[in-house]
Amino acid sequence: MKLAKISAEIVVIEPDISKHVEKIVGIDDIEITFLTELNRLNSYKRVPNFDLCTIANWGPEHFETLKWVREQSINKVLIEKPLASKLNHLNVFERSLHKKGTFVNFHLRFDSSLNTLRNILLTEEFGQLTHASVIAGAKCISTNGIHWLDWLLSFVKASPTHISSDCRNTFINPRANHLSYIEGNLNIFFANSVCISMNFSNASYFGTKVILLFESALCEIENGKISIKATPISNLKDSPVYRSMSSYEFEESSMLANDGIDTIYNTMVRDIEYVFKSPTLANRLIILGLVSSELNRSIGFAEQLPETLLCKEWNIS
């Protein structure tokens, strides 16, 4: 579908995105300004008429970029995940991200198929979530795993208590050599005994598989396909040791809709009321996992960390 002819100005901070911007079809009369260095933002003054800003440069640069955007009084801002790669920057984000019109690109929250799936799992009589796992090859925990972690957190009705991790950076990030590409095992424990596990291997070509285990349901998401095996918990009267599972058909959709980003922009442009809950939690848990790996011990979620770790640059993006 060809869009109506419009006039627009796109200012691009990250030069590598130029090849994507120039492929926009159906939009005419676009003036594209490429700012190849972050410090040139301060010399760029023609912003009062900008309606929306997307911050999609490298993760370590998000903090300074958002500060600049706030100074320009741009009210609608979409920030790419992860928000920050330092804990002290994340603490500042925590205090500033509740402003109306500020969104984080956790697009799985907005995927129509995943929302339907979530409603089925939470409204049908399948009991509580007991465990969730994300298993993947060279997808990077902080780049792709963070999306699934953010979505899975919506099922857990308790606060995280501690994080135990064995993660490492193998320096294979295809976008930039200085950016981390995290593999390993990250385990997040919650006050209600739920555990979310992430297991990524940069030596594997495997895609991503997500598993959610409820009291009487098993949900798997792989290659965009969704399947559920379940039976209402009211039908199960004996011990879990003797319970058997029946198949449950996910009638609404068997595939991910992949419409989350479109929905985010539609929500922003149309000023649809939306409260972005816990925008920093998944980001914080991943950084705490890196801290756990560096210290070679479990980390309490509320643990007071030394200034050196609060200010450490992890270069996640």
Ranges of each domain in the chain: 8-105, 108-259
Identify the band that residue 21 occupies on the pLDDT scale cut at 50, 70 and 90.
very low
The answer to whether domain 8-105 and domain 108-259 are alike in fold is no
pLDDT digits 0-9 by tens, 103-139: 899 999 999 989 988 988 887 678 899 999 999 999 9
Superfamily of domain 108-259: Dihydrodipicolinate Reductase; domain 2 (3.30.360.10)
User: Which pTM value belongs to this model?
Assistant: 0.86
Q: Which residue has the higher pLDDT, 180 or 244?
A: 180
Superfamily of domain 8-105: NAD(P)-binding Rossmann-like Domain (3.40.50.720)
| Residues of the chain above pLDDT 90, percent | 46
Q: How far apart are CA 283 and CA 145, in angstroms?
A: 10
| pLDDT, position 271 | 85
Q: How far apart are CA 97 and CA 106, in angstroms?
A: 14
Strands 225-230 and 217-222: antiparallel
Looking at residues 182-198, what average pLDDT do you find?
98
